[in-house]
Structure 1
Amino acid sequence: MGTALVYHEDMTVARLLWDDPECEMECPESADCSPVVGQWVSGQGPEGERRSCLACPPLHSPEYVAMVRGTQSLGKVELQALSGKYDTVYFLTSLSICARMFPGATLQLVDAVLTGTAHNGLALVRPPGHHSQRTAANGFCVFNNVAIAAEYAKQKHGLHRILIVDWDVHHGQGTQYIFEDDPSVLYFSWHRYEHGRFWPYLRESDADEVGRGHGRGFTVNLPWNQVGMGNADYVAAFLHVLLPLAFEFDPELVLISAGFDSVIGDPEGQMRVTPECFAHLTQLLLVLARGRVCAVLEGGYHLELLAESVCMTVQALLGDPAPPLLGAMVPCGSALESIQRVRAAQAPHWTSLQHQDMAPVLSSSIGSPEARPQPPPPAGAEYMVAAAAEAVEALRALLDQLRLRPLPPVRTAIALTSTDAALVLPPGVLHQEGSAPREETEAWARPHEALVQDEALTALGKVLNLMDGILGGQVSSGIAATPALATAATLDVAIRRGLYLGAQRLLCVAVGQAATPPPTSLMTMFHISVPLPGATGGLLNCVLGLVLPLAYGFQPDVVLVALGPAPGLHDSHSALLASMLRGPAGGRVLALVQESKPQLTGALARALHGEAPPSLGPCSAASPEDTQALKHLREQLEPKWRMLQVAGAPPP
């Protein structure tokens, strides 16, 4: 199995036949944005058309489908007149063929992932779909491809819980309308809103629109009320809004409406997200649904940065570590206000958001719901020049980072003092036989009595060699076993070795009985002792609400994960933690386990190698004691670490 890529060159042939400034930015070249690699699942046009129009679930009305099919016989004047009946749409003869092919191509991707032919995949297709409604085209969208895919997955494959993540900069109101009363589909959208002054100018795009009937709580809108949102804002929204709900929902499939118009320099989105951020968002979604993730291209209007963003997404789907996020990870006040509002709106419907301190900020963020808001003035020449310069700088920084820190030749290595026949590893994981020189190992061990024994010294030599490989660029991540009594001392030496080798910031996450802080006061090291909650919900609250925000805020060069024995610590918990910590350090993770445990080592190796961790299943609620302990820790750390915050500053 690999990563499926669905694409057909016919989707790039449509061209606008008349002058229309609104529609000119939607160009078919965006479907031909990069020579990405993977396992190709490419359908022919006729098959895609047959599957979309005849075999798809009846999502769009028969009259609307017939109207779209009839555009093949219309002339230019008739096509322009028909397009004028809809909001920001253009119909062409060739475009209608593509629009019918696109849903069929998306269904091929869903089939490939759900039948096990591929782990995950991306559909590079045009036109987009998330604005399309049951009986109307809208916003360049003719058929709602992701919505059709969700309905198809339910009817053809018998799925009961599907998560749709719409990270396009525009609200996918078409998808929301289709599933607003359906509890089997959790729809999440963040979008440029500006208090209702940005297209599509809808009151129902606001945070307090949570669905209808049985679907209440299954529509999650996160409106951005100013432009310029960046990486920290988007990652914070995932950690504090989407992922808590997603884990509680426990989806069987994740569909991404993958619009890239929030990338820095995009003239439509006017946001400041860098391309590598999409790799991080993708990695965070791959821990759900056993990694069954299907991304489908939506918007994106800066073609060069669109291509880089797509490449970053595919890199994450392939299991490669994401490049570290550059720049300060500090969410802005407006983003925190939006996060606070959506958490308050969703708290009545989700256990994971209850019993947490949240001000009831439920007033509408739109100024006057009675009147249609006026659109913001078009960006002036001065803004466009500045945005273009920022885009060039972001692209240069990304390319420099990829050049100076290329992917290591070994993605994952394990260093064990003994092997076990029960240990099952994925292909490509390296059994490291080497060790640091004996005299050098003894010198590093000298301050610690626990490292005097031969067994501890041998294990330490392997740990030092593995740390050298990670920081030297030969290995991305690794796993090493240590004797139980030598864990704290080994951790201390590993930290000092990492800093000695040039790591500027080293994050240590200790879990279970390994949670004794190592004897060091170095300011370049940040140590988190993770309390072990008694329920899965408590563990997730700790990881999403404490560990990952601190990790992204600290931006470490390498992460050390020390896993000690504990009654409530399952292999799936450890694998999830290791998998999610790959992001903040660009994949540089060294996991220390006490003694060799083949099942745990195998689970960690698969997670660090880029495979999806095992599903946690339905989440039990966090206990009041765990919730209170987490609240206390967050209150202590929030003033310094802004990624922990989930609310804007109170009014003066």
Structure 2
Amino acid sequence: MGTALVYHEDMTVPRLLWDDPECEIECPERLTTALESLRQRGLEQRCLRLVAREASEEELGLVHSPEYVALLRGTQSLDTDALRELSAQYDAVYFHPSTFHCARLAAGAALQLVDAVLTGAVHNGLALVRPPGHHSQRAAASGFCVFNNVAVAAQYAKQNLPAPLALDAAAVRQEEAAPWGELQAWARPHAALTQAEALAALGKALRLLDGIQARQVSSGLAAVPAPAVAASLDVALQRCLSQGAQRLLCVAVGQLDPPPALADDGRTLYLNIRGEEVAAPSMFRVSMPLPRTTGGFLSCVLALVLPLAYGFQPDLALVVLGPAHGLQDPRAVLLAALLQAPAGGRVLVLVEEESTPQLTGALAQALLGEPPPSLGAFSPASPEDMRALLYLRGQLGPRWELLQLAAPQ
């Protein structure tokens, strides 16, 4: 999965047919220049190229009134004088016989991008469109804008987005656990999973994990007994990989070494935030210290964790808060929230059943899209934290492009 580029040459057709200094800047070159710049930099070739489709009138109706859509449809048959007269009724807008077609392409390009991201075909994308849309209103064009492309895409996404699910294991019904025989097979190598309570919690976590991978839900929160966290993590990783995950990001906070059977083959990026250990035995295995200050935590996340996550482009992210992990609740919540973007929204957080209701509640709210809690008073990163961060960036930089940017001072 990569980045999509959505475009259609027809969107270069509309142009101003009369003199109007205010509107002449909305010209085809706004689009062709941007596309040529992408080509010169070799970026177009690196994208999944999609040809824009027209948004249907029903889709436009998610935001715009039927009367306004009908009015725009009628511009296709108007002569220049009639187009100029209609344009004068709005603020800084001109109409062309192809405006209706191209405005539908502009909105449809945004919808194609939504579909591509939601289906997992790409992680993100760019739609090059004209006419623009952000000034248009429900029943009025404005500021060169005809249909509100972003608003239409947002409403369309709300109708098609998998519902986020954030549940404590105790809140999941027993029948929603993974099949018992299959569950026992996964748990058999782990002594910590022999207890019925641990096995039941694992089954519910795996059921939630299956839902995320199948895109039935976008994210989730599962709680397992503290002694079973490491074993549950091992099973979750192996299950994801066995079900076809190509890139799996795991951010483990606490004393949680990579499972011995986990291959270092590039399919799993394992970041362990723990104690004072600083190590990068491979480009996919990193141990970093647990920052004690707000500045140290933010530096670690923004200058190391997120560049690695965006560079890796994971199919799914696992965030695991192990026993005595030491990460303050607001920081744990922010970490999980920030990893949603590089993982395409697909995040499973594993916590101990003994975690506080405040932590699990804040994690659930963040996974559902609410703002994370405040980190509190700011304190700068310690010299030790900065030395560790700069060391890891130096070790990993030659192999991760996003770490080759300027390092924090």
TM score, norm. by length of structure 1: 0.39
**Residue 379 of structure 2 corresponds to residue 620 of structure 1:** yes
Correspondence for 1:475? 217
Q: 1:441 aligns with which of 162, 175, 183?
A: 183
Deviation at 1:534, TM superposition (A): 0.7
Equivalent residue letter for 2:178: A
User: Post-superposition shift, 1:22?
Assistant: 4.2
Measure, in 1, the Cα distance between the counterparts of 2:299 and 2:203.
36
In the alignment, is residue 646 of structure 1 matched against residue 389 of structure 2?
no
Q: C-alpha distance in 1, partners of 2:394/2:290?
A: 19
Aligned partner of 2:327 among 569, 577, 584: 569
Deviation at residue 413 of structure 1 after TM alignment = 3.4
- Describe how 1:281-300 pairs up with structure 2 within 5 A: none
* Aligned position for 2:302: 544
Secondary structure in 1 matching 2:167: strand
Distance 1:276 1:36 in 2: 25
**Is 1:413 matched with 2:181?**
no
Deviation at 1:311, TM superposition (A): 5.2
| Mapped partners of 1:599, 1:532: distance in 2 | 21
Following TM superposition, by how much is the alpha carbon of 1:481 offset from its aligned partner in structure 2, in angstroms? 0.8
State the SS of the aligned residue for 2:176. coil
User: What residue ranges of structure 1 are gaps of 5+ in the alignment?
Assistant: 1-14, 27-32, 39-91, 100-125, 128-262, 264-273, 280-295, 321-405, 420-429
Give the Cα separation in 2 of the matches to 1:517 and 1:583: 24
1-side partners of 2:228 and 2:319: how far apart?
A: 15
1:521 is aligned to 2:259: no
- Does 2:237 correspond to 1:498? no
Cα-to-partner distance string for 1:300-344 (whole Å, 9 max, x where unaligned): 98989x82x55566789x7x9xxxxxxxxxxxxxxxxxxxxxxxx
What letter matches 2:316 in structure 1?
A: V
Q: Structure 1 pair 302/494, CA: closer, same or farther in 2 (3 Å)?
A: farther
Secondary structure at the aligned position of 1:412 is classed as: coil
2:292 alignment partner, one of 518, 534, 541: 534
Structure 2 equivalent of residue 630 of structure 1? 389
Note the C-alpha offset of 1:538: 0.8
SS in 1 for 2:351: strand
Partner of 2:107: none
| Distance in structure 1 (CA, Å) of the matches to 2:327 and 2:191 | 28
Per-residue deviation, 1:517: 2.1
Preserved CA contact (<8 Å) 2:26 2:144: no
Aligned to 2:218, what secondary structure does the other structure show? strand
**Contact 1:414–1:432 (CA<8 Å) still a contact in 2?**
no
Distance 1:461 1:544 in 2: 34
Task: Answer yes or no: is the 8 Å Cα contact 1:515–1:529 preserved in 2.
Answer: yes
Q: Higher mean Cα deviation, 438-447 or 617-626?
A: 617-626
| Cα displacement (A) at 1:510 | 0.7
Shift of 1:297: 5.7
C-alpha distance after superposition, 1:26-46 (max 9, x if no partner):
9xxxxxx984969xxxxxxxx
Deviation at 1:407, TM superposition (A): 2.9
In the superposition, relative to structure 1, how do residues 310 and 627 fare at CA in structure 2: closer, same or farther (>3 Å)? farther
CA separation of 1:35 and 1:628: change in aligned 2, threshold 3 A: farther
SS at match of 1:639: helix
Residue correspondence of structure 1 range 196-345 to structure 2 within 5 A: 276-277=124-125, 307=149
Alpha-carbon separation, structure 2, partners of 1:557 and 1:617: 32
Distance, in Å, in 2 between the alignment partners of 1:507 and 1:618 is: 30
Note if contact 2:340-2:346 (Cα within 8 Å) is conserved in structure 1. yes
SS in 1 for 2:375: coil
* Alpha-carbon separation, structure 2, partners of 1:488 and 1:642: 31
What are the Cα deviations for residues 506-533 of structure 1, in whole angstroms up to 9, with x where unaligned?
Answer: 110011x254222233221110012321
Q: Which residue of 1 aligns with 2:115?
A: none
- 3-state SS of paired residue (2:271): strand
* CA-to-aligned-CA distance 1:269-315 (integer Å, 9 cap, x gap): xxxxx994589xxxxxxxxxxxxxxxx769998989x82x5556678
SS in 1 for 2:25: helix
Aligned to 1:218: none
Residue 645 of structure 1, CA deviation: 2.1
Q: Counterparts of 1:539-618 in structure 2 under 5 Å?
A: 539-566=297-324, 568-597=326-355, 598-618=357-377
What are the Cα deviations for residues 142-193 of structure 1, in whole angstroms up to 9, with x where unaligned? xxxxxxxxxxxxxxxxxxxxxxxxxxxxxxxxxxxxxxxxxxxxxxxxxxxx
Q: How many pairs does the alignment contain?
A: 291
* Residue 484, structure 1, aligned to residue 211, structure 2: no
State how far apart, in whole Å, the 2-side matches of 1:455 and 1:407 are.
33
Residue 453 of structure 1, aligned match among 195, 200, 221: 195
* Alpha-carbon displacement from aligned partner over 1:478-505 (angstroms, at most 9, x marks no partner): 1111111211111011001011111111
Partner residue of 1:398? none
Partner Cα distance (2:320, 2:123) in 1: 31
- Give the Cα separation in 2 of the matches to 1:275 and 1:452: 38
Shift of 1:629: 0.8
User: How far does residue 16 in structure 1 lie from its aligned partner after superposition?
Assistant: 8.6
* Change beyond 3 A, Cα 1:275–1:463: closer
Alignment partner of 2:165: what SS?
strand
**2: CA distance between counterparts of 1:538 and 1:37?**
45
Give how far 1:470 is off. Answer: 1.1
- Secondary structure of 1:502's match? coil
Q: Structure 1 residues 449, 568: CA separation in 2 closer, same or farther (over 3 Å shift)? A: closer
Residues 621-643 of structure 1: CA deviation (Å, up to 9, x unaligned): 11111111111111111111111
Superposed counterparts of 1:118-197, under 5 Å: none
Secondary structure in 1 matching 2:215? coil
| CA deviation after TM superposition for structure 1 residue 431, in Å | 7.1
> CA contact under 8 A between 1:478 and 1:591: conserved in structure 2?
yes
1:488–1:643 Cα change, 3 Å: same
- Displacement, 1:596? 4.2
TM-score, scaled to structure 2? 0.60
In structure 2, what is the Cα distance between the partners aligned to 1:605 and 1:536? Answer: 22
Deviation at 1:585, TM superposition (A): 1.6
Amino acid at match of 1:525: T
- Structure 1 contact 413–431 (Cα < 8 Å) conserved: no
Q: Secondary structure at the match of 2:348?
A: strand
Q: Is the 8 A contact 1:450 1:456 kept in 2?
A: yes
Aligned letter for 1:612? P
